[in-house]
Structure 1
Amino acid sequence: MSISVLIVDDSAVVRQVLAAVLRSDPALEVMNAASDPILAMERMKNNWPDVIVLDVEMPRMDGLTFLRKIMAERPTPVVICSTLTEKGAKTTIEALSAGAVATIAKPKLDLKNFLNASARELIAVVKDAAGANVARLGRQGSKAPDAPRDKHTADVILPPAAETRALSQTTEQVIAIGTSTGGTQALEEVLVELPRVSPGIVIVQHMPEKFTAAFAARLDGLCQIEVREAVNNDRVVPGRALIAPGGKHMLLRRAGAQYFVEVVDGPLVNRHRPSVDVLFRSVAKCAGANALGVIMTGMGDDGAAGLLEMRNAGARTVAQDEASCVVYGMPKEAVKRGGVEKIIPLQAIPREILQQAGR
């Protein structure tokens, strides 16, 4: 059975290109396209889509208002198609918090060629969105738009951790979190529960360039701990969460008793940059038993190999359970590979983090 898609965007070029890209996959059916949410609602009265691809800045009704209306009345997977600008990033973060499943980033220039080059990614995002647990989102988010390439592993960024556990336990604990689809809301639920005195946290959330700064700023305004987009050589200290910047990999490093992050360029790993596997491998190498690895809601398998390396290095590891995930892809794969010590619901993750602080 095909997945029906409705495209809502005020740009005729975007509607045309998105429709052509999505129709190239036999599993997808573009049932309609609308230039604004008012027209979209008229067309949805008799034929409700499985997935909505939605712009945020449109005439008559903005996409954010439309999204909130949809999530309140009939929760449906929504993929935001947003411009790569600071203004667009801020609005997109609001949309993800309001219940959007994922984000497709679009540049202002050369849009047609960009979307065509990213065709496989666009199709994958829409297909995965169709299977998202939108009921979970209704009670309460992204792939980067890079053109698909070979699926590299973390080996392209740093070599595997040594088999021996070289690091002794210290009082400095590190929490490493990896997440993707649905992670913007899940991270908010976790981080707002943490007191100001909490272990240092490093996070990879799959999100396009420019969006992570707006996401971190939003969380910083909601949380007791400090939350910010990481820059190279930032210290990992209690009461601070560092989010890997979109378009860059983030690694944990150690100098004596102090931890810091290194932000680097490099190929996509598991088709992502930043990659959870890259972060988790670096944590296994630098922190070992002094770390807690947490893998949360998201599509794909990024982080599964790295979490197993963390567990083999003596770290504690947990995965978010299926019932509380928007997409149970990344945690499921981590469990399958043997990297997960404990499976817990989302609301139990803050307690695990605080228990790690007392080790």
Structure 2
Amino acid sequence: MSSEIKVMVVDDSPVVRKVMSAILDQDPGIRVIGTAHDPIFAIEKMRRDWPDVVTLDIEMPRMDGITFLRQLMAERPTPVIVCSSLTTAGAETTLQALAAGAVAIVAKPGLGVEGFLKDSSDNLVAAVKSAARANMGAVKRSAQLRSQATERTQPRLAMAQTTERIVAIGTSTGGTVALEVLLGALPRVSPGMVIVQHMPAMFTASFAARLNTVCEVRVEEAKNGQRVLPGVALIAPGGKQMQLARSGAQYIVEVREGPPVNRHCPSVDVLFRSVAKYAGKNAMGVIMTGMGDDGARGLKEMHDAGAFTLAQDEESCVVYGMPREAVKLGAVDRSLPLSALAASILRGA
């Protein structure tokens, strides 16, 4: 290693990349040789000029930081400092990062990151200098021993946790008014929402646009590949199926042509089952007024995956069909009147 420590900054936030680079470049013993918004782009740059230290975020598109860290330790062990809002003391993701081979952890807050990094500049510089002296042979051996001891009994998940909560909502008959009541009661700082309202093609775009004019949260007709963000409600387009998916550590929606399920396209079951698969306990499921049983089995899958589940109660439903079937299956943790659903969503229970 040369006298100057070469650093690669990997973070999907342009602000973090800019501020962290400026802080590190101020030290005469450190030089930032590159930045990248995700691990796949980072490795392309690293192969041209390999860094002495990598600073790494966890929640990124295409590949999450834990997966990248494991690959790096297996192929070319390099000192990595994990800098993420997920790495609060004792968090499971912190333990995963250390077990995978991270030599240091810098916990950044979810808000006010720029100010936090500037206030913590001395700690960040010290962490980089310390990491550059790490015995990576010992780090790799420790990670391998730990992996061998646990992989026989525990599934190897890319990430145990994400900071993003997802709310999945399904409704049909009576749902246009019920959704306006529910979404209109939510503040801008709400979890990201994915919604299926049984509605023909050509109507969902205007429905979403109208809701957007009366709600604090942003309401949009979903587009394929669109990221699910806090404060945004994505409504499945009529005539297409919508599913939740992951891009690295971020939630996105897949909107595609597909056959009807339970006679519906979009189908609540299709959405709920994908949320159970990709979000698990980070999700909340809400089944509302509607005829038939679409969504009941999907909500049960969400419930069994650890999600908290709500149903609109019979008295406030225009048609108590879909919620009734979900309750009968044991898929519902709590039934509430329409007026109480927003508060429960914000509490997370």
Question: 1:285 matched to which residue of 2?
Answer: 277
- What amino acid does structure 2 have at the position aligned with 1:319? A
Instruction: Give per-residue Cα distances to partners, 1:219-262, cap 9 Å, x unaligned.
Output: 00000110010010111000100000000000001122210100
* 8 A Cα contact 1:213 1:245, kept in partner: yes
The question of 1:211 aligning with 2:200 is answered: no
Distance 2:171 2:322 in 1: 8
Distance 2:222 2:214 in 1: 18
Distance 1:342 1:328 in 2: 15
Corresponding residue SS for 1:335? helix
- What amino acid does structure 2 have at the position aligned with 1:186? A
Question: 2:292 matched to which residue of 1?
Answer: 300
The question of 1:315 aligning with 2:317 is answered: no
Corresponding residue SS for 2:300? helix
Select 1:186's aligned residue among 178, 190, 199: 178
Instruction: Give the direction of change, closer, same or farther, for the CA distance of 1:189–1:260 in structure 2 (3 Å limit).
Output: same
Aligned pairs for 1:7-26 within 5 A: none
Instruction: Give the direction of change, closer, same or farther, for the CA distance of 1:294–1:272 in structure 2 (3 Å limit).
Output: same
Q: Following TM superposition, by how much is the alpha carbon of 1:355 offset from its aligned partner in structure 2, in angstroms?
A: 1.0
Select 1:200's aligned residue among 192, 196, 219: 192
Instruction: Give per-residue Cα distances to partners, 1:54-105, cap 9 Å, x unaligned.
Output: xxxxxxxxxxxxxxxxxxxxxxxxxxxxxxxxxxxxxxxxxxxxxxxxxxxx
Question: 1:135 matched to which residue of 2?
Answer: none
- Structure 1's unaligned 5+ residue stretches are 1-162
Question: 1:236 matched to which residue of 2?
Answer: 228
Q: Following TM superposition, by how much is the alpha carbon of 1:166 offset from its aligned partner in structure 2, in angstroms?
A: 8.4
- Structure 2's unaligned 5+ residue stretches are 1-154
Distance 1:199 1:166 in 2: 22
The question of 1:177 aligning with 2:175 is answered: no
Q: Following TM superposition, by how much is the alpha carbon of 1:167 offset from its aligned partner in structure 2, in angstroms?
A: 6.2
Distance 1:242 1:167 in 2: 24
* 8 A Cα contact 1:299 1:327, kept in partner: yes
Corresponding residue SS for 2:277? helix
Equivalent pairs, count: 195
Spell out structure 1 runs of 4+ moving beyond 3 A: 163-167
Instruction: Give the direction of change, closer, same or farther, for the CA distance of 1:164–1:251 in structure 2 (3 Å limit).
Output: farther
Instruction: Give the direction of change, closer, same or farther, for the CA distance of 1:191–1:245 in structure 2 (3 Å limit).
Output: same
Q: Following TM superposition, by how much is the alpha carbon of 1:164 offset from its aligned partner in structure 2, in angstroms?
A: 11
TM-score (norm 1): 0.53
Instruction: Give the direction of change, closer, same or farther, for the CA distance of 1:283–1:306 in structure 2 (3 Å limit).
Output: same
TM-score (norm 2): 0.54
Distance 2:227 2:272 in 1: 17
Select 1:271's aligned residue among 253, 263, 271: 263
* 8 A Cα contact 1:167 1:287, kept in partner: no
The question of 1:350 aligning with 2:303 is answered: no
Instruction: Give the direction of change, closer, same or farther, for the CA distance of 1:325–1:351 in structure 2 (3 Å limit).
Output: same
Q: Following TM superposition, by how much is the alpha carbon of 1:266 offset from its aligned partner in structure 2, in angstroms?
A: 1.1
Q: Rg: which structure is higher?
A: 2
Instruction: Give per-residue Cα distances to partners, 1:270-327, cap 9 Å, x unaligned.
Output: 0000000000000000000000000000000000000000001010001000000000
Aligned pairs for 1:1-359 within 5 A: 168-356=160-348
- What amino acid does structure 2 have at the position aligned with 1:268? P
- What amino acid does structure 2 have at the position aligned with 1:239? G
